[in-house]
Structure 1
Amino acid sequence: MPKKERLIKQAIKGDQNALQLLLKDEKDKLYKMAFIHMKNEHDAMEVIQQTILEAIESIHQLRNPAYFSTWITRICINVSLKELRKNKKIVTMESYSIPDVVEVSGSLEEKLDLTNVLYGLDEKYKSVLVLRFYHDFTVNQIADILGCPEGTVKTNLHRGLALLKTKMKGAYMDERRNESY
């Protein structure tokens, strides 16, 4: 039995040290997911704290140890969305600095452009795109995390990618037009 699976089974039985080790392995992924939703470090850290608290309280409900990562990611997304609904915040891009959340190759400007466009998408598109392309979850896993049908995930991926392409193409086409003058 792999070490991670053994740790998960121990955590389900109530071993807090095992759960702590598992959460430590997931912390970067959870932070990125929380930051993408909350758009600032302070709120993202609050979401992480609430996610950890909910994980501690409900680890015994995890039925299949193989889905630990999916389970904890779903908690993080749900906590993020609950906080957004509760606070109903509107945060502008200028109000915070963007850490290297979006890890793509290319120049800093390209990363910032992609991040800005990604933040501007509806939650349903942003969530599936981040889970699929930055966390490498399958469509099936994303459907489990978000609690929706696979067809909905596929539709949101397709539409989200089309929106990204349109918005990114528009930004770069505008730049090219300005350069030709």
Structure 2
Amino acid sequence: MNEVKLVKKAKKGDKEAFEQLLVLHKDQLYRTAFLYVRNREDALDVVQETAFRSYLAIKTLQEEKFFVTWLTKILIRCAYDSLKKRKNNVPLEKVTPILSKLDKRSDDVMDLADATNKLEQKYRDVIVLFHYHDLSIKEVALVLDLPENTVKTYLQRGRKQLRTILEGAGLNEGKSL
């Protein structure tokens, strides 16, 4: 079924349609939550809280075509709420056992995720939404309530900062951002 039709049904109170929408986007939601909170359990909690809040607020969604953008905005707020409660990032020691089991490509992905986590918050938000969520500049601007030109500037500065972090750690050999 078309996503827009599912959103319309969910707005009318159809629980199954809402559940199908969440299932459709569960991987994307989890990946984004993990990038923010940096641990599996907290990421799952963020996704669950996002599902709860979005279910309560689905009737406030004005345009069905922006469902994913709207849902992502809720997820980011939930992730920040989770980080505020925790006030500390997950120590790398907790992630190390997982890293040892992964192949080289996965190590590179984890290194990139760690580097992304070191960015200033405003740059990290734009980088995550644009590169990890594959949102357009316009959609990123909608999610973050920023002008499009500001999003472009943050994207450029964030990439530069990310490149500097990766080069400083010796991880950007032959890679382009």
Do both proteins adopt the same fold according to a TM-score greater than 0.5, normalized to the shorter chain? yes
Pairing of 1:18-97 with structure 2 (within 5 A):
18-96=17-95
Select the residue among 88, 109, 131 that pairs with 1:111. Answer: 109
With 142-151 and 7-16 compared, the bigger mean Cα shift is at: 142-151
Pairing of 1:6-21 with structure 2 (within 5 A):
6-21=5-20
Contact 1:93 1:116 (8 Å CA) reproduced: no
| Structure 1: segments with no counterpart, 5+ residues | 101-105, 176-181
Q: Deviation of residue 64 (structure 1)?
A: 0.4
Q: Deviation of residue 99 (structure 1)?
A: 7.3
CA distance in 2, matches of 1:130, 1:42: 20
What residue in structure 2 maps to residue 162 of structure 1? Answer: 160
Residue correspondences, number: 169
Q: Deviation of residue 161 (structure 1)?
A: 0.2
What residue in structure 1 maps to residue 143 of structure 2? Answer: 145
Q: Secondary structure at the match of 2:155?
A: helix
The higher radius of gyration belongs to 1
Tell me which amino acid in the other structure corresponds to 1:149. P
CA distance in 2, matches of 1:5, 1:40: 32
| Structure 2: segments with no counterpart, 5+ residues | none
CA distance in 1, matches of 2:15, 2:78: 21
With 106-115 and 161-170 compared, the bigger mean Cα shift is at: 106-115
Q: Deviation of residue 174 (structure 1)?
A: 10
Contact 2:33 2:76 (8 Å CA) reproduced: yes
The change in CA–CA distance for 1:130 and 1:98 in structure 2 (over 3 A counts) is farther
**TM-score, scaled relative to structure 2:** 0.86
Q: Deviation of residue 29 (structure 1)?
A: 0.6
The change in CA–CA distance for 1:90 and 1:173 in structure 2 (over 3 A counts) is closer
Q: Deviation of residue 82 (structure 1)?
A: 1.7
The change in CA–CA distance for 1:99 and 1:20 in structure 2 (over 3 A counts) is farther
Contact 2:46 2:78 (8 Å CA) reproduced: yes
Identity of aligned residues (%): 36
CA distance in 2, matches of 1:68, 1:174: 35
**TM-score, scaled relative to structure 1:** 0.84
The change in CA–CA distance for 1:161 and 1:62 in structure 2 (over 3 A counts) is same
Contact 1:118 1:126 (8 Å CA) reproduced: yes
